[in-house]
Amino acid sequence: MDFIGNFIAETNNLLWSYILIILLIGMGIYFSIRTKFVQFRMAREMFRLLGEGATAEKKGVTSFQAFCISTASRVGTGNLAGVALAITMGGPGAVFWMWLIALIGSASAFIESTLAQIYKVKDGDAFRGGPAYYMEKALNARWMGITFAVLISLTFGLAFNSVQANTITSAFNESFGIEKWVIAVILATVTAFIIFGGIKMIAKISEIIVPIMAGAYVIVALTIIIMNISELPSVLGLIFESAFDGIKEVAGGALGAAMMQGIKRGLFSNEAGMGSAPNAGATADVSHPVKQGLIQSLGVFVDTLVICSSTAFIILFSGLYTSKEVDGIVLTQNALGTALGSWAGVFLAIIVLLFAFSSIVGNYYYGESNIGFINENKVWLNIYRFAVVAMVIFGSLASLKLVWGLADLLMGLMAIINLVAIALLGKIAFAALADYQKQKKSGQNPVFHINNIKGLKNVECWGDPTENIDANKEN
């Protein structure tokens, strides 16, 4: 088993470090240029739409709830452990590259979530969609959609959820001495209750957990920054100095450790372009696809520039970034303890619970949406639900080196398939953005209709072309 795990790890190094990183960065730059850097130009609109979605009343899932579902999946223990290890392995400069990748990748997030909204389908009084759906409907490639659906269901619904469960049980066992099997039973029971409740239950839980967990963690990070405000200029200087040392290494023909670790952490944390978040973005009930594209683009900023940066500053202010500690959670715990005292261990255990459990819920939904794409028979969905609960129990009790390595490999394949699809379909998202901006300029609340984009086919949820659309109707 160790041989297999080591082989997969080596394969991942080749796949992630070269092919995937080049594709993700390349597509991010391309989409940034083609959209005239929509992620910066329309930043104010993103926040306005998020606030609008938070107060909207819908029968289905609001845009804010869809944002919370995707953020729940994005923001996991990797934001705590992964960032800490990226800094210890790549140095403080890794933080700069993490920021840069988020700024670039948010354009890809806009494209994929806009496409997911355009090609979403009805699911009772809610919606579902994602890459598998736009692969089938826009590219007429159901085989491609099924391949993607299988990969994301295995990766997020099963493998990554077992890893998140493992982190929760380890943290509570370490901090409170609770037996792992006890935590496993409780975790599996609560997970089953939520996932058998369907998308509305998931949306409501995410809407509660995400603001609380993110807010608490950011407040603690800001407290530490304020306590060490005199050292902030030197810490920022350290980040940029180390980052540009990496540029010198690249000029010399080598990809520096800071650049590599920062790029990997940024890409794998915010998931921009990987095809996961669009599954949540498609659930939102909005008047125009671009609205959710913008909100999901904002989600990349929240994940990397806010949550990951919080961990980064906690580590850097502690001075422990030179540590050889190989467990990222322990390193983050030690850094918090240095700043705040012994109670930090208990606080971090609770934060780990919220971060990891929210990821379990969000990850599960990605699988549910794609199981529905493969086969709408509820029997298959219930089998998947039981499998998720079983993997939560397994992950709580097992050593997961092999599972983690396999999940990373599957995620890489999933991302490549999605990047090919959005590269081919990007022009549809560009046209949707142009339509949105045109309506905004005329003073309207943008409303999308199938005939707003010439030649658009296989679109289910945006009205009959003969209908008269009132562009000023409520969102």
Task: State the DSSP string of 218-241.
Answer: HHHHHHHHHHTGGGHHHHHHHHHH
Q: Are 82 and 93 in contact (CB under 8 A)?
A: no
Span 100-148, pLDDT tens digits: 888 888 999 999 999 999 999 887 777 888 899 999 999 999 999 999 9
Among 259, 270, 260, residue whose Cα is nearest residue 301: 270
Give tens-digit pLDDT for 83-98: 777 787 777 888 888 8
Residue 433 confidence class, pLDDT cut points 50, 70, 90: very high
> Would you state the pLDDT for residue 29?
92
**Euclidean distance between CA atoms 431 and 241, whole angstroms:** 41
- Contact between residue 436 and residue 290 where contact means Cβ atoms under 8 Å apart: yes
Q: What mean pLDDT comes out for the span 373-391? A: 86
119 close to 138: Cβ distance less than 8 angstroms: yes
Please give the pLDDT value at position 246. 54
pLDDT at 402: 60
Sketch out the chain's domains with CATH numbers. Answer: 2-449 (1.20.1740.10)
> pLDDT tens for residues 44-66?
888 888 877 555 556 667 777 77
DSSP code string of 56-103: ---SSB-HHHHHHHHHHHHSSGGGTHHHHHHHHHH-THHHHHHHHHHH
- For residue 359 the two structure tokens come to 């990821």
| Element (DSSP H or E) covering residue 313 | helix 309-318
pLDDT the model gives residue 265 = 65
Going by pLDDT thresholds of 50, 70 and 90, the confidence category of residue 400 is low
Distance, CA of 94 to CA of 218 (rounded, Å): 20
Residue scoring higher pLDDT (41 or 199): 41
Share of the chain above pLDDT 90, in %: 15
Largest CA distance in the chain: 66
Q: Which helix (H) or strand (E) segment is 161 a member of?
A: helix 161-176
Q: What is the mean pLDDT of the chain?
A: 78
Distance separating alpha carbons of residues 288 and 56, to the nearest angstrom = 15
| Cβ within 8 Å of residue 55, ≥6 positions away | none
* 8-state DSSP, 322: G
Give the tokens for residue 90: 């790549």
pLDDT value of position 474: 42
Both tokens of 143, joined, read 């085989």
CA end-to-end span of the chain: 53
Please state, as a whole number, how many other Cβ atoms lie within 10 Å of the Cβ of residue 90: 26
At residue 75, φ and ψ (nearest 5 deg) are -85, 95
